[in-house]
Amino acid sequence: MEVDNGTRSASSLDGERKKESKGKSVSSRKSNKAAASFEFHELAAATRGFKEVNLIGEGVSGRVYKGRLSTG
């Protein structure tokens, strides 16, 4: 495992994933579920206008908010 400032390389994480799933990599598992997609207005409503109180994280790819969809 490669460690640099508390981070692990993607290759070391991939090896761990394979071990955890008993020989099957995560990408080789089959799933019948499709990823959900949402309209911007649905996300804005779920996060109450992307209020700072709902901000749970921030990184290189953007911010992550918690929210509640109208469907539960």
pLDDT along the chain (72 residues), means of 10: 48 50 60 87 96 96 94 80
Same domain flag for 45 and 56: yes
Please count the structural domains in the chain. 2
Whether 9 and 23 map to the same domain: the answer is yes
Q: What is the pLDDT of residue 36?
A: 87
Q: What pLDDT does 3 receive? A: 45
3-class SS string, the chain: CCEECCEECHHHHHHHHHHHCCCCCHHHCCCCCCCCCCCHHHHHHHCCCCCHHHEEEEECCEEEECCCCCCC
- Residues 39, 23 share a domain: no
